[in-house]
Structures are given as structure tokens and as C-alpha cells.
Structure 1
């Protein structure tokens, strides 16, 4: 209602526009408790630092201004024309019950020239001290001496608000508390999605009477409504589908070129030659057609009670049809008579069980590392460090802001939903909470953001960067385009503000950010992250080092997270295709198994449905696509140029991926720019 009256009054107020020198437009933020009933005041500064008198922004008595999400317009006659507006002071008093006020942006239009001056705020406005903004509010600290004290005071306050805590020993720190502005504002929609799915499942539960499944085909009857048949349903039995899971599934970052068969996997030419199109193992390695995944890191993993998790090794071969297919699976690390090497000519259901148990291990790694550890949790740690070290006015803070939006809030929701004692992880994943955190600890010990966290370097290290060597690797092909587009976007900002390395060395905020990210936590330095691979240990030597690190962070928050998240339902949605948990123990011999043996390893029906529901929720996209920011943070010429560059790059990427998808057997949409969110918000 307040916005309606504001627009109405603006229309009638145009008659008296000549009586006001400026129009002031204010956008209140959309975060929780953003609105205020306090009185709001501003003052403007001209080029000679001539300051107007303090002016209260008020409208008609009918208006209820400054409510959450409101866009209010004012034409204060008390503001006389002092010339171009270079600075703006804004503050509130303590009137009203809810005096906190979160502001997105303030725009001032000078009537005599129709010039508009943009003052992004993107923070809480308090009574004391008064907040002073410069046009565009995007400056390096060494170029912002007039506001030095304000920046230092803001950073001191941010260090109190964004404090680190180690929830899990031996891994990266997280936010102790989630500030109000970080809490997700679409919690209702989140609950609604769960309720909608729950309602759709009521009909399923009325049909599903028995505890366990009668046949594999019996499982098809549960789909309908909000649970459509997942993409894997029609092809999950095929070896080509198992191979494609390594390339376009929800864990496409593990396949690597096999340069040598490990001693612990005693395969022979006689065993594998039928599956290598007559080639010896040595020849298939020399021709770069043999690939491997080795989950040694899962060995002796602590689990929730009643389970056994394999630590498998699998070999894959690119055949004459350019399909990646499995040729050997060993489910445990030590070769012995109870740990056979399974091959495609083994009895049908024996081979099926070997693939299913391999996927239990793959799913455990996917959820623990790719989805949670090196995505949600790591990016939370970096987001907290960013808030603690970079002023809201810092250009790099504004660059990163849309990619951290609601990250802390969604993680906060996820800890209860996923990590709780009765949460999804404990109920539906064999690895459970205890095993998941142990796996994150093991990986974090050696994980390097410039190697493992650099999409292109990771492909090179795994030997899978050449499309001629590994065809149909759509994650690599499309992901590389996205990475390069993000890199150009970042480079525009970094080069625009740091024309010379000396400017980086003169920036205390970015150097403190680098130190916080790279320094191993200790008693002497408790508020640090200990991330390996931060260039020059945070003492950035040039713009390229900054560009690379920022690109890695934004890629993980956008395309990287999308790749491991939005395919979950199409993989986990049919449990035999990609099980997060199986009952019993993995096969210890190559004897004949039956469909009934497979059914006996599947979880009960209620477990299966819970897993399907959560994977469906986690696969939903609820935010705008990459580059179409929910909130704009950069209005300065350099930032606007960067956004334009990103849009141009993504337009070209879209055209290329659309062209590729027309030629592919099945379109790969997860890294299409229209399907990639701006942040980790689910």
C-alpha cells in the first residue's frame, strides 16, 4: 500500500517538480526485518564538499515508507541545488518499534541537468555513526581516505557479526551465527516444495503397502505428479549409461586418464582383452583409451551401524563408438580371493550389483566432497572471510556479493534438514554423518584451490582436458566455456581497479583477505581458513593471481555447484541406478545372482521414497540465472562494463551450447547459462 501511494504522489508531485532541486529514490532491501518505522534523514555533498542541511525523507501521512522491498520516492523542497552530488549522508533515528533498516540503493536525480547519481548501500543504516556514501560506493581503501575511519569501523563491526566457528574438527571453519540479512527470504517456498511433494506422496503410500520391493519394474509405479520419472529410468541397466554417469552425472569430476594399472588391481590382458576391442592393456594405455577411478580414500571409513562401504577401483574404456564403458570393477583395495575383479561378461545381476556398489561409493564421495565439503561448507568459509576483511565498499566485495547471496542462510537450513540426527544424510546415505565428516577431513588435508578448485587445472591434472581423448565429456566442454566467461568478467574488474601490482600491495583489505584465507588456524591466528593454494599465500603479486582465485570462487558458487546439484534427481531418483545406500554387504565372489538378490540389497520403500523426495527438492532451481542478478551491487563504470562483458560472453556461450545440444544424443542442460544460478542458494 505504501508503494502505491508513493507512486501516486510522485505522479501528482511532478506538477511541483520545479519547486524541488532533487528527487530522492530509496529501495529498501528484501531481507528479513529490512523495513523500519524510524525517521530517515539525508544530506548531500557537492564537489567543493558543500553540504546541504539535514533533511527528513517523509511523504504523506497515508504512506508507510521504508517497508521491506519498498521503492519510495521523495522530492524534499528543503534540498537546494548545490550542484553535482558526490557524497551522501544517510541515517535514522530511534523512533518506531522496528528501527533497523536495510537499504539496497539510494538514487538522487538533479532536476536542472536530469543527472542521476547512484549510491548503492547494501547494508544496515543505523543512527550512529551516520553512513557516508560516495557515488557508486566502489573504491579501493587507498582511494577512499576520506572514509578511512568509517571503513575501519564497519570492518570491526563485521568481525563481530561474522565470527568463525569450527563445527567439525579438522575441516574448514564456518559462520558462528547467521546475520539477518543472510537468511533466505524464500523459506516459505522451500517449505511449500516439501509440502507439495509430501502431498503427492500420500497417494504413493496408499499404493505402497509392502516394506520391500517385489521387482525392479515394481519401482516404476511410484512416479507421478511432483515425482516424474527420472532421466535414468529408461537406460540405467546399460553399461553406456554407467559410463556417462562419470561424464555428465552429478559427480563428473573423478574420471582420470589411466597411465598405469595400480599393483593393487591385478588385471590381465586375458581378462580385459575382450572389452578393449582386442587391444592389450598396454596398448589401450598408450592410445589413451583407458581411464580409471580409484576411491582408496574411502578405505576403512567409519559408518553408521549396519553397513559396509566399498573403496572401489574401476577401469573404463573409450570404444570405437566413442562411448565410455566400464570394463573392470574391484570393490575393495586389497586383492584377494574374496575381492574379485568384476567384468561385463559376469552373470547379469552379479555385474549389476558390482556397478551398484561402486555407485554407493561414488555417491558417498559426491555428497560429502563435491556437494557439501568443497562447495557449501568451503564457500561459507570464504564468504565469512570476505565479510570480515573487505569493506562493503570494496570493489571485490561487490563483485563477490551476488555469488554469496543466501549461502549462509541455506547452509543454516541445511544443517538441520541434512545433518540432524534424523536428517537426510543419516537416514538415506550409507556413509552417514560421521563418515561424511571423516571423508571431508581426509580430502581437506590435501585439497588445493589452485589445483582441485581450478576447473581447467583439475581437468589437466586428471588428463581429461582433450576432447579427442575423452569424447562426450559435456561437463568439461560446457564448463570450460562458463569458466572462461567468468574469468573475463572477473578480469575486467581486477584490471580496472588494479592497473599495476603496486596497487594490490597498497590495498590493506585485500591483503588481509588473502592472509585470512591462506593462514592455517592456530592459537595465535584463530580467525583464519587454512585454504591451500591461495596464490603467494595471500600476498598477491599481480592481478592475474587475484583473477584466478576470484574466478575459482565464483565458478564453484555458480557452475560448479550447479553441475553437482541439479542432476541429483535424475541420478538418485531411481535407486538402483545411483544408490546412496544399499543393505547387506558387497559381493565377495562372482557367483550367479538373481533379480531377487538385487532386490534384497535395496533399501525399504519408505527409505527409497524419502531419498527420492530430498533429491527432487535439491534439484529444483528457484533463483535467477547467471548474470541476471537478484540484487545489483556494481553500478560503477568498471563494474557495469564487467556485467556487460559477462552478458556478452554468456550470450556467445548460450549459442554454442545450444548448437552442441542439437548434435548430442541427449542435451546437457545443467551448465546451460539459463540453468546456472548466481549463488549456492539450494
Structure 2
């Protein structure tokens, strides 16, 4: 880890060191490697430098390039973003006019690219222009938006990435012209940025304290809370000295901090991993800010009118002191804005933890090595390969884009998130390496965090919906694998499976932390659990952390990706102080566009495999049972949402893709 960001706190995550064994090559007479695997191993090579030292694919194989169906969905969301930006900026422009304007911008960008390109690129671009849109010349390059869309798809089909990136960058630069660093003076300034894209519901709720608490259990990062256990109470009093007076000011005198602790009703979101993060800048030398706050929450006692989670106190750092006071809810004007600013500090920390760790680290990069090892060690017809490959569709492409574009200097993360790009990468690695595979099983994680008790913690939408999906996926995986492995002996004797497991943990392989049963797969029950976690993470867990970006995180005041004023000391504050802390309008627009793109592309649906993918009658029967179960879960979640404080829709099966493809 480079010395420039060694201050990043990884101690709180109990970082597990990467595995050290290399692949064994000790067989005297090894079985010959099938030609298909030899070919795959040439294509799917590991790289440990893209986001060091994580195992990623070195160069993206052609087979991993996304389909035109996927690209068309992405392009349409991009066009939505451009149209929204134009209408928002010009105010009086109608959507139809904006569509014509986007077509005009595409035309101007294509002409610029053509004029500035070398002779070879001119030939390539000219060929695509005439082939995709034959009427181009006699129309004088004046085409409608759908015709330009056909051109872009033609470029994609021929993998003309350099031209495509230049086209997107050129249009975006034209749309972004005249964006200035302007501080908002009201929430309406942010609301006006949603011209043709719908203003998300969070815009009307985000300042409600109960909604702030609800985001811990049904927001973009729903796995952060941990129960404050009795033995942890002393540590809490030293590090975050909340008093009974603080507690009763929120919960009333019929309850107490001690009772809440004893009854397992006290929960904390502690962002200690962010301590020491280096503040980033925008654009140029203007600083962004990120803290390592702690936020305390409580569940009201049994028998209360409402048992929804409530916020008790926030401390905008890891050590309490004069400059880092404990801030509590208040209706007093000056104290009210101090509380709103403290909540914003938590939201900045939560959004950065979400993007770097919960999202990129613990879904995308967590699953990546399994896709690579599957191609390298399992033939396409191997039963496990047949089951897993649909759940890897598009993922290596997205991960490659993440390291090339999003996580690159001056990329989307660098521009929008709070810390430097090196700190963001360090947090991602620390979050991944502390997330051991065997401890990542959903039921086990809930127990470890102390949030599994339905009586102590009755309202937790993510937990309740995720468990429905976990159980359904596990039953499907068990039924499928049971058709191919009669017992533990069959698992142990499958040499391809054992090679797959060995490569996953090898230092010159997948570097997966804490996988297997002492480095092997010895039992059918373990194989079922492992495959359940892989499928669950690639589908449901990724949906839970990805798609809230498309609404919750588009609205910058509700979940800013960075702070723009220091948080200390927070005792009193004004409305002007609050808006100074929130993203300037051009940064908020950038956040809207980045998160909307990432959170609005839905491709494939969980349980909907390609027709004929499973040919065996028993496999098809088991699949039908799984699909019927998903319909039941859809109905169950819809029923639950009728009585929840706010709907939670991210784990509805119809909104969960098969794989990490965005």
C-alpha cells in the first residue's frame, strides 16, 4: 500500500492477510488439460496491479464484451441524462427541443472527431457513418436521435472504443459547458436539476430523523449497523461518550441507555475505517471533506406505538472532544442546523463507504475471481460451470471499466467522492480483504453484527427480504447440485472442482480470503453454501447496493458524495453554513448523472435463464420451483411494503438482475 495513504484506518476491519499458497504442481502424471481450458487460460489471465493487490482479469476477453441489447439500454440512459441536463440548464427548453439539441451536439462532435482524426480513423468513422445511417450525406449530417443511436451501436458492434469514448466525452463536454461553482441557497436549487428525470421521493423525506435512521436498514448501505453489546458498552463510553441524558432527550424518561444496552436495542454505525483518509479536491485545488463519524441509534421498547429505529446522537470523529462534540436532534434553530450538518457528515461517510467497500469491494471485486477461475478450471459443460456462468455475465466487463474509468485519476470516483483516488482504492482493498468468504454467508453476517433478533430489531427491510432470497437461492442450488453430486465423496472426487477451489485461494490465482474447508471442498453441504453465496452476491446483494444509486443517491442534499466545508466544531450552525457544506450545484449535477447511470440500467432478471440453458428434465423442474418461489417472494415483499414506514423495493425479484452487469 503506497505510503501516501497508509493513515487510512484498516484496524477496525480486522483485515485478513491475502492467502499465500501457490497452485500446486506436484502431480507426477497430471491429467492432460483439455484444449478448451488451455485456450481459456490464455484469455483469462490474472492481473494484480489494476487495483493492487486484488485479482482481476488482465485483458478483457472478446467473449466478455457486452451485448448490443445491454448497450442500447446504457445509451438510452445516457441520452436521458443529456436531455435532463439541457432542460435543467436552459430552464425554458422543452424535452422535444432538448432531444433535437442532443442530436445536434452529437452531429457537431462527430464532425469535430472526423476533422481532427488521422486518415485511418477518418476511414473507420466514415465507414460506420455510411453503413449505420446510409442517408447521412443527403441529410447533411442532420439526423434524429434514434439515427445517431444506430450509429453508436454500429461503433459498439465493431468495438471502436476509442471513437466511442471520444464521442461520449465530446457530447458531455458540450452539455457541461458553462457549469460554474455555485453554492446552493435553497433545496429548490437542487430540485431544479431534475427537469426530465423525476425528482426522487427522498427529496421530501431526507431531513426527517426517522428516515435518516431508515436509510441504515433500507438504503444504499444496509449492512453497516452493528448492535452495541454489553461488553462493548465500556468502549463506547470512552470513544463515543453518549450519556443517559442524551438518550432520554430522544427516547423519553420511560426508557434509559442502560435498558437499551441490556435489551440489545442499541445500534451503532461506526466509520472508523475512514479515519485518516486524505481529503480530495475539486476542480483544481478546492478541498472536499470526509470524516470518520459514529452514529448511535435505538429501537423503542417492546409495546411502544412505533418500533422504528431512531437516531440518538452523532459524533463527527473517532475521539470526542471540544472540537468533536456529540450532536443530538434539536428543534432549536441554530442547533437544528448543527444536527442537519452532523447527519450530512454521516451521509458523506456512508456514501463513500458504500461506493468503495459495500459496492465495489464486496460485490464486484468479491465475485470477480470466481468468474476467472470458472473459465480457467471448469469446462463449459461442467455442472457447476453451467449453473454459475449466467451469474457472471457482464461482470468482468464492468469490473474492467471500473478500474479503467471510474477508479482512475480524474475518473468518476475521483471527481465526485470525498477522498483522494488513492484513499478510495485503499478503502476498497481493505474492505475486500477483511470480508472473508466463509464469514460472508448472510445468516452468519447478521448474527455477527447482532441484527438477527426479530424481537430486539423488528423493522429491518433489507434483512427480512434478503433472507427470503437467500433461502430460495439455497434451495435452488441444493436441488441442482443434488442432481450431480450424490454425496460428499462425489464432491471430493471431482478433480476439476478441487482444482477450481485450489486456484481460488492461491496467491497466483484468485486470492480469495477464507474460502473452502482447509483449502478444499470436502462436503456437499459446503459446496451448496458456497455457491449460494456466489449467486446471492452476484444477484440480490449487488441489487441491494447498486440500484439505490438510481434514486436515493441522485439527490445530493440527501446523500452527498463529499462534504464541501469542514465539520468541526458542530455546536451551532446557520442555514448558510449548512448549504456551504453541501455540494456546489455543478458537483451535485455530476453526482446526479453518475449515480443515475449506474442505478438505472436493468439487464436480465434473476431466475430467467436463457431458453434451454438447463436441458435435463429434473433440472428444469427444480428451476420451475425456484421461479415460482421468486413470484411468491415478489408478492410477500409487496405486502410487507404496505405496512413499512417507506417502501423497500430493491430486493423485489423482478428488479434483481442475474449478474453484476452495471
Q: Tell me, yes or no, whether TM beats 0.5.
A: yes
Cα distance, 1:230 vs structure 2:
1.0
**Partner of residue 654, structure 2:** 674
Q: 1:623, 1:677 within 8 Å by CA — same for their partners in 2?
A: yes
**Partner of residue 224, structure 1:** 195
Q: Which moved more, 1:410-419 or 1:345-354?
A: 410-419
**Partner of residue 377, structure 1:** 365
Relative to the length of structure 1, the TM-score reads 0.74
Match of 2:184 among 205, 209, 213: 213
Distance 1:194 1:629, change over 3 A: same
Cα distance, 1:370 vs structure 2:
1.2
Q: Which moved more, 1:403-412 or 1:393-402?
A: 403-412
Q: 1:626, 1:677 within 8 Å by CA — same for their partners in 2?
A: yes
**Is 1:571–2:571 an aligned residue pair?**
no
Match of 1:446 among 428, 434, 439: 434
- TM-superposition CA deviations, 1:375-426 (whole Å, max 9, x none): 1122122211111111111100000011001111222333344123332101
**Partner of residue 297, structure 1:** 273
Cα distance, 1:246 vs structure 2:
0.3
Q: 1:401, 1:633 within 8 Å by CA — same for their partners in 2?
A: no
**Is 1:561–2:535 an aligned residue pair?**
no
1-side partners of 2:417 and 2:267: how far apart? 27
Q: 1:450, 1:534 within 8 Å by CA — same for their partners in 2?
A: yes
Q: 2:77, 2:600 within 8 Å by CA — same for their partners in 1?
A: no
**Is 1:619–2:623 an aligned residue pair?**
no
Gaps of 5+ in 2: 1-30, 92-178, 282-286
Cα distance, 1:631 vs structure 2:
6.2
**Partner of residue 466, structure 2:** 479
Match of 2:531 among 546, 550, 554: 550
**Is 1:310–2:192 an aligned residue pair?**
no
Cα distance, 1:664 vs structure 2:
2.6
Distance 1:629 1:158, change over 3 A: same
Residue 566 of structure 1 aligns to a residue whose secondary structure is: helix
- TM-superposition CA deviations, 1:564-616 (whole Å, max 9, x none): 011113222221211111112113231x2111111111222111111101111
**Is 1:274–2:249 an aligned residue pair?**
yes
**Is 1:338–2:323 an aligned residue pair?**
yes
Cα distance, 1:325 vs structure 2:
1.4
- TM-superposition CA deviations, 1:456-491 (whole Å, max 9, x none): 111111111122221221111111000101001110
2-side partners of 1:586 and 1:463: how far apart? 30
Q: 2:225, 2:267 within 8 Å by CA — same for their partners in 1?
A: yes
**Partner of residue 368, structure 1:** 356
**Is 1:403–2:386 an aligned residue pair?**
no
1-side partners of 2:405 and 2:434: how far apart? 29
- TM-superposition CA deviations, 1:110-160 (whole Å, max 9, x none): xxxxxxxxxxxxxxxxxxxxxxxxxxxxxxxxxxxxxx86x6221121111
Residue 663 of structure 1 aligns to a residue whose secondary structure is: coil
Residue pairs, 1:147-296, within 5 angstroms? 152-168=34-50, 170-185=52-67, 186-207=70-91, 211-225=182-196, 227-259=197-229, 260-261=232-233, 262=236, 263-278=238-253, 279-296=255-272
Residue 315 of structure 1 aligns to a residue whose secondary structure is: strand
Cα distance, 1:210 vs structure 2:
7.4
Gaps of 5+ in 1: 1-147
Residue 192 of structure 2 aligns to a residue whose secondary structure is: helix
**Partner of residue 443, structure 2:** 456
Cα distance, 1:621 vs structure 2:
3.6
Residue 477 of structure 1 aligns to a residue whose secondary structure is: helix
2-side partners of 1:209 and 1:423: how far apart? 19
**Is 1:323–2:308 an aligned residue pair?**
yes
Match of 2:522 among 523, 541, 550: 541
2-side partners of 1:563 and 1:535: how far apart? 26
**Partner of residue 31, structure 1:** none
- TM-superposition CA deviations, 1:28-62 (whole Å, max 9, x none): xxxxxxxxxxxxxxxxxxxxxxxxxxxxxxxxxxx
Structure with bigger RCO (C-alpha 8 Å, 6+ apart)? 2
Match of 2:561 among 550, 555, 580: 580
Relative to the length of structure 2, the TM-score reads 0.76
Match of 1:352 among 328, 340, 350: 340
Cα distance, 1:191 vs structure 2:
2.8
Cα distance, 1:271 vs structure 2:
2.7
Bigger-Rg structure (1/2): 1
Q: 1:184, 1:410 within 8 Å by CA — same for their partners in 2?
A: no
2-side partners of 1:617 and 1:635: how far apart? 36
1-side partners of 2:592 and 2:299: how far apart? 31
**Is 1:516–2:500 an aligned residue pair?**
no
1-side partners of 2:316 and 2:307: how far apart? 26
Residue 160 of structure 1 aligns to a residue whose secondary structure is: helix
2-side partners of 1:630 and 1:614: how far apart? 31
Q: 2:289, 2:562 within 8 Å by CA — same for their partners in 1?
A: no
**Partner of residue 500, structure 1:** 487
Distance 1:536 1:411, change over 3 A: same
Measured on the aligned residues, the alpha-carbon RMSD in Å equals 1.9
